C-alpha cells in the first residue's frame, strides 16, 4: 500500500478520543450544576436546613422568654439573632450555639449545614479547574488544519525503507486536500508514529484517526 493522504483536519478530527471526551464531559458539567444549584439541589437543601435551624432557635427563645426574666433575655436577643443571621449568611456556616433544650437539634442542623457546604465547596474545587482544562482542550482541538497521512508497507513491499521512500515522494510532490495545501518548499512541523505491530496499530485507531 502506498502512502495516502487522509485529509487536512482539525486536531479534534485526528485525536478522536480527546474530542469524544470533551463531548462526554460537557453534559456532566451541566448535571453537576443542576445538582449544586438546580431546583432540587444541595444549595436548596442547605437553605431549607438553614430555615429549620433558625426556626429551632426562635422556638427555644420563645420558650425561654416565658420562664425567665424577659428583661435579661431581651438585652442579649438582638446580638444573638445577629450572630445567627451572620452565620447562616456565610458560604460555610459557622454555628456554635447552646440553646438549652434545643441544643441537640441546633447542633444536628448545624452539622448538616456544614456538611452540605463542604460538599458544595469540594464539588466546585473539582469542577472549576476541570472546566478550565476542558475549555483549553476544546480550543486546542479546534486548531487546524493538520495533514494526516497513513501507510501500511509490509516486508514484501520493502518494509520501513520502502515506506520512507514513498513518504519522501509524497512530500516532494506536496500535500493537497481541497483548498488546503502544503507546497514542497514550505516549512513544516509534525510527528510520525510508527509501529511494526498490527495489534498496536489497531489500538492506535481507538485514540487517533488512522483511516
Inform me whether the pLDDT recorded for 143 exceeds 80. Answer: yes
Backbone angles phi, psi at 140, to 5 degrees: -65, -40
Mean pLDDT of the chain: 76
Report the chain's terminal Cα–Cα distance, integer Å. Answer: 13
Q: Round to whole Å and give the CA distance between 34 and 97.
A: 32
**209 is a domain residue:** no
pLDDT of residue 121: 77
Q: CB 95: neighbour CB atoms within 10 A?
A: 19
Which tens digits make up the pLDDT trace of 179-203?
999 999 999 999 999 999 999 999 9
Residues 6+ apart with CB under 8 A from 118: 92
pLDDT number for residue 139: 93
Per DSSP, the three-state class of 208 is coil
**134 and 148 together in one domain:** no
Boundary (domain end) residue, out of 110, 125, 140: 140
**Are the C-beta atoms of 118 and 94 separated by less than 8 Å?**
no
CA R_g for the chain: 32
Judge whether 210 lies within some domain.
no
Helix axes of 103-141 and 42-67: crossing angle, nearest 10 degrees: 160
Q: Can you give the pLDDT at residue 57? A: 56
Examine the fold and report which residue of 140, 166, 183 is the final residue of a domain before the chain moves on: 140
Contact between residue 177 and residue 13 where contact means Cβ atoms under 8 Å apart: no
The stretch 58-84 carries a mean pLDDT of 49
**Residue 78 scores a pLDDT above 60:** no
Same domain, 10 and 87: no
The pLDDT tens digits of the residues spanning 87-114 come to: 445 444 443 444 454 556 666 666 666 7
Backbone phi, psi, residue 41, to 5°: -115, 175
Predicted pLDDT at 136: 92
| Structural domain that includes position 35 | 27-140
Same-domain pairing of 32 and 106: yes
The pLDDT tens digits of the residues spanning 26-41 come to: 888 877 777 766 655 5
Q: For the whole model, what pTM was predicted?
A: 0.62
C-alpha grid cell for residue 58? 426562635
| Residues 51 and 136 placed together within one structural domain of the fold | yes
Span 168-175, average pLDDT: 93
Q: Do both 34 and 123 map to the same domain?
A: yes
Q: Are 16 and 209 in contact (CB under 8 A)?
A: yes
**pLDDT reading at 120 higher than 70:** yes
Domain-terminating residue out of 121, 140, 159 = 140
122 and 187 within one domain = no
Higher pLDDT, 27 or 53: 27
Amino acid at each position: 500500500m502506498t502512502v495516502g493522504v487522509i485529509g487536512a483536519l482539525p486536531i479534534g478530527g485526528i485525536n478522536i478520543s480527546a474530542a469524544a471526551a470533551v463531548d462526554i464531559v460537557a453534559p456532566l458539567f451541566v448535571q453537576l450544576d443542576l445538582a449544586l444549584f438546580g431546583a432540587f439541589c444541595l444549595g436548596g437543601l442547605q437553605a431549607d436546613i438553614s430555615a429549620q435551624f433558625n426556626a429551632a432557635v426562635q422556638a427555644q427563645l420563645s420558650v425561654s422568654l416565658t420562664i425567665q426574666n424577659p428583661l435579661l433575655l431581651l438585652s442579649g436577643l438582638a446580638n444573638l439573632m445577629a450572630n445567627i443571621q451572620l452565620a447562616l449568611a456565610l458560604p460555610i456556616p459557622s454555628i456554635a450555639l447552646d440553646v438549652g433544650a434545643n441544643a441537640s437539634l441546633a447542633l444536628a442542623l448545624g452539622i448538616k449545614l456544614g456538611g452540605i457546604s463542604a460538599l458544595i465547596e469540594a464539588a466546585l474545587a473539582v469542577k472549576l479547574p476541570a472546566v478550565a482544562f476542558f475549555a483549553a482542550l476544546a480550543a486546542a482541538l479546534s486548531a487546524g488544519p493538520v495533514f494526516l497521512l497513513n501507510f501500511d508497507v509490509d516486508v514484501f513491499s520493502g518494509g520501513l525503507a520502502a515506506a520512507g521512500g514513498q513518504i519522501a515522494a509524497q512530500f516532494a510532490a506536496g500535500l493537497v486536500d481541497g483548498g488546503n495545501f502544503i507546497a514542497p518548499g514550505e516549512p513544516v512541523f509534525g510527528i510520525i508514529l510508527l509501529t511494526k505491530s498490527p495489534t498496536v496499530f489497531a489500538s492506535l485507531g481507538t485514540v487517533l484517526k488512522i483511516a
